[in-house]
């Protein structure tokens, strides 16, 4: 049984024709025609999640796991506003969410009608395209709507992927059904094209590269891409260029450099020229490291090329000279064949410094007292190879990047907008589709903030939730400024006296805890045991003051 609303039938048919069959529905009445049609047709994989904010983040994680668009469906009113954080995150992570919002007819807007707000353009700053379907169902109106829906869905995946919004005004009756199949629809398909450098452009770029003695390549956050990694490895081997990356770049060649924050702290002013690049090439998403940005803004390269299929002018380091509208893998494949072999002095300098820094780091951690830093080192050793790791924002992602990456693990995190509001929901959505073990590591405030992520029936046995409970927002103790303020304890650190155990029990999850090194080793063994066949929470308690002291001492120790 499907809705009698012809626009909804047509929309469902077009989604299906374009391979968009995952639908996350938050219950409501105004979106009834959508729910009836998606669920009643039997052609869509529908999931029900009550909390719209959590539902949208869940869909974001699911889209990451499946590498295809996912649609979210909600009722009218404030339900639509609750989608906004995840829509913004998806926009900056280049994830194609299809946002379907039910609405009242426009003649009821601002007329004291229930559950009725101004929904058109509600996400205008964070979407690739927005349309609002007509109320009428004439042949011309259905033709117009089909054209608009086709374009909207195509724009979600063309070039750099992004969210799109389809607002759907609906008149009553909302729940009339008929026993029919979805109608035939007219599909407008985009033609995929490939961008290549012209011979003159390639010659000019290769000449600049060949003349540069110090080439630094920044691999930003992205999904795993073995083909790109092979291209970068070949380039590095041939030219001695340095690839600098964080775990979230999912580029794991041992000749690439990581440990960025500790590396930056160990670079002395009198040796900066040795590490300052002549040519900087960047691609992918953001970097977590603030010290890297400060280093490159102060010690600017002569040239900076940014690779962006959609041509974004990301001048993060205030030195942008070229925007290259090409996929990174295609660019490096085309460029490498035109490059001359060079000595590897620059690469060797970075790798030697990284080796020294990592030795100092490991030496420090080995003798450090129990704290967030030692906890993350223990977690890193316990995490299974070939698993998926989701990093929560604030201090968890920074601690994780100090430690080495787990071999063959894939790393994800909501670093598009870097909020704490949906980290757990995103991981739950990803894990629901993944065949691998998925671990989400987040702080206590992030866990409680997004605890509705556990309020659904899609938590699989492959999900592990690691809560670092330092009883507040410890990140504000680590950065300069807030910790010296009289308002620190109440308004920055935001002391938290609650524990995750009660919530874990409420949502019927297995629960483990640790308060010291010995307890953590035992808990991690059980947490990752093959016998653990159920989603579980491990809560690790640390002392915020000790965490701050150890964190600051680490960088002093590395700098020596």
- Whether residue 483 has pLDDT greater than 70: no
Q: Which pLDDT score is estimated for 464?
A: 98
Q: Which pLDDT score is estimated for 110?
A: 72
Q: Residue for token digits 């000595």?
A: 343
Across residues 430-455, what is the average pLDDT?
A: 97
Banded model confidence at residue 288, pLDDT cuts 50, 70, 90? very high
Distances in Å between the alpha carbon of 344 and those of 214, 255, 268, 338, 415?
9, 11, 21, 18, 32
Q: How far apart are the two ends of the chain, measured CA to CA in Å?
A: 71
| CA gap 536, 509 in Å, rounded | 5
Banded model confidence at residue 481, pLDDT cuts 50, 70, 90? low
Give the predicted TM-score (pTM) of the model.
0.95
The 3-class SS string of 198-244 reads: CHHHHHHHHHHHHHCCCEEEEECCCCCCHHHHHHHHHHHHHHCCEEE
Q: Indicate the DSSP class of residue 416.
A: T
Cα angle at 74 between 71 and 80, to 5 degrees?
105
Per-residue pLDDT tens digits for 487-537:
666 656 577 788 999 999 999 999 999 999 999 999 999 999 999 999 999
Which one is the CATH code of 2-173: 3.40.50.970, 3.40.1110.10, 3.40.50.150, 3.50.50.60?
A: 3.40.50.970
Backbone angles phi, psi at 280, to 5 degrees: -115, 130
Q: Indicate the DSSP class of residue 131.
A: E
| CA gap 526, 523 in Å, rounded | 5
Q: Which pLDDT score is estimated for 113?
A: 76
Q: Which pLDDT score is estimated for 90?
A: 98
Per-residue pLDDT tens digits for 150-189:
999 999 998 889 999 999 999 999 999 999 999 999 999 9
Cα angle at 278 between 274 and 283, to 5 degrees?
115
| CA gap 125, 130 in Å, rounded | 11
Q: For CATH 3.40.50.970, list the domain ranges present in the chain.
A: 2-173, 368-559
Nearest to 442 by CA among 421, 456, 417: 421
Percent of the chain with pLDDT over 90: 87
Q: Which pLDDT score is estimated for 193?
A: 79
Q: For CATH 3.40.50.1220, list the domain ranges present in the chain.
A: 201-352
- Whether residue 415 has pLDDT greater than 80: yes
Give the SS3 label for residue 24.
Answer: strand
| CA gap 557, 361 in Å, rounded | 8
Q: Residue for token digits 């949502």?
A: 507
| CA gap 130, 132 in Å, rounded | 7
Q: Which pLDDT score is estimated for 320?
A: 97
The two three-digit tokens of residue 285, written as one number? 């998403």
- Whether residue 474 has pLDDT greater than 80: no
Banded model confidence at residue 107, pLDDT cuts 50, 70, 90? confident
**Architecture of the CATH domain 368-559:** 3-Layer(aba) Sandwich (3.40)
Distances in Å between the alpha carbon of 123 and those of 51, 55, 129, 152, 450?
18, 17, 10, 14, 22
Banded model confidence at residue 484, pLDDT cuts 50, 70, 90? low
CATH of domain 201-352: 3.40.50.1220
The two three-digit tokens of residue 487, written as one number? 């308002």
CA dihedral 243, 246, 251, 252 (to 10 degrees): 90
Distances in Å between the alpha carbon of 121 and those of 17, 141, 182, 325?
26, 21, 29, 28
- Whether residue 472 has pLDDT greater than 90: no
Banded model confidence at residue 104, pLDDT cuts 50, 70, 90? confident
- Whether residue 275 has pLDDT greater than 80: yes
Say if residues 224 and 284 touch (Cβ distance below 8 Å). no
**What is the DSSP track for 239-295?**
H-PEEEE-GGG----TTSB--HHHHHHH--GGGHHHH--SEEEEESS--S-HHHHHH
Alpha helices in 100-225 (DSSP H): 139-157, 199-211
| CA gap 460, 470 in Å, rounded | 27
The more confident residue out of 347 and 193 is 347
Across residues 37-58, what is the average pLDDT?
A: 97
Say if residues 146 and 186 touch (Cβ distance below 8 Å). yes
Mean pLDDT of the chain: 93
Residues 236-260 as b/e (b if ≥16 CB within 10 A, e otherwise) read beebbbbbbbbbbbbbbeeebbbbb
Q: Which pLDDT score is estimated for 485?
A: 65
Radius of gyration (Cα) for the chain, nearest Å?
25
Q: Dmax of the chain from CA atoms? A: 77
């Amino acid at each position: 049984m499907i809705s009698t609303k012809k626009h909804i039938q047509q929309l469902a048919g077009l989604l299906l024709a374009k391979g968009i069959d995952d639908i996350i529905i938050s219950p409501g009445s105004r979106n009834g025609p959508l729910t009836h049609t998606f669920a009643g047709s039997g052609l869509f994989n529908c999931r029900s999640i009550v909390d719209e904010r959590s539902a949208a983040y869940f869909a974001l994680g699911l889209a990451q796991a499946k590498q295809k668009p996912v649609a979210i469906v909600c009722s009218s009113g404030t339900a639509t506003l609750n989608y906004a954080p995840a829509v913004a995150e998806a926009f900056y992570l280049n994830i194609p969410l299809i946002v379907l919002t039910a609405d009242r007819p426009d003649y009821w807007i601002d007329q004291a009608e229930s559950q009725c707000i101004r929904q058109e353009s509600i996400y205008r700053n964070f979407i690739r395209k927005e349309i609002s379907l007509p109320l009428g169902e004439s042949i011309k109106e259905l033709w117009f709507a089909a054209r608009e829906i086709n374009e909207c869905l195509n724009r979600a995946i063309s070039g750099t992927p992004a969210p799109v919004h389809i607002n759907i005004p609906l008149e009553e009756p909302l729940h009339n059904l008929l026993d029919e199949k979805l109608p035939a629809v007219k599909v407008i398909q985009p033609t995929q094209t490939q961008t290549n450098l012209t011979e003159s452009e390639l010659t000019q770029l290769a000449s600049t590269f060949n003349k540069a003695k110090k080439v630094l390549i920044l691999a930003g956050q992205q999904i795993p891409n073995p083909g790109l990694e092979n291209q970068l490895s070949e380039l590095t081997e041939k030219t001695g260029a340095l690839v600098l990356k964080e775990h979230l770049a999912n580029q794991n060649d041992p000749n690439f450099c990581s440990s960025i924050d500790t590396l930056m702290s160990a670079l002395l002013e009198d040796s900066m020229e040795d590490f300052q690049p002549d040519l900087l090439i960047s691609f992918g998403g953001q970097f977590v490291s603030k010290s890297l940005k400060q280093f490159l803004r102060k010690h600017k390269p002569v040239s900076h090329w940014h690779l962006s299929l959609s041509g974004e002018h990301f001048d993060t380091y205030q030195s942008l000279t070229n925007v290259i509208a090409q996929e990174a893998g295609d660019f490096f494949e085309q460029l490498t064949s035109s490059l001359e072999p060079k000595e590897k002095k620059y690469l060797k300098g970075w790798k030697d410094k990284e080796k020294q820094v990592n030795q100092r780091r490991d030496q420090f951690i080995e003798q450090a007292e129990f704290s967030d830093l030692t906890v993350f080192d223990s977690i890193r050793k316990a995490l299974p190879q070939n698993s998926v790791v989701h990093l929560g924002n604030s201090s968890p992602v920074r601690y994780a990047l100090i430690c080495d990456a787990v071999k063959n693990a894939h790393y994800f995190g909501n670093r598009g907008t870097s909020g704490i509001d949906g980290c757990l929901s995103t991981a739950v959505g990803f894990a629901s589709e993944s065949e691998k073990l998925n671990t989400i590591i987040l702080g206590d405030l992030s866990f409680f903030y997004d605890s509705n992520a556990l309020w659904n029936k899609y938590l699989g046995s492959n999900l592990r939730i690691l809560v670092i409970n330092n009883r507040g927002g410890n990140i504000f103790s680590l950065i300069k400024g807030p910790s010296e303020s009289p308002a620190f304890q109440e308004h920055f650190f935001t002391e938290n006296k609650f524990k995750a155990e009660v919530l874990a029990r409420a949502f019927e999850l297995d629960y483990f805890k640790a308060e010291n090194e010995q307890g953590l080793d035992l808990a991690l063994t059980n947490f990752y045991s093959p016998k653990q066949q159920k989603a579980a929470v491990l809560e690790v308690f640390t002392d915020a003051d000790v965490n701050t002291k150890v964190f600051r001492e680490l960088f002093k120790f590395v700098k020596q």
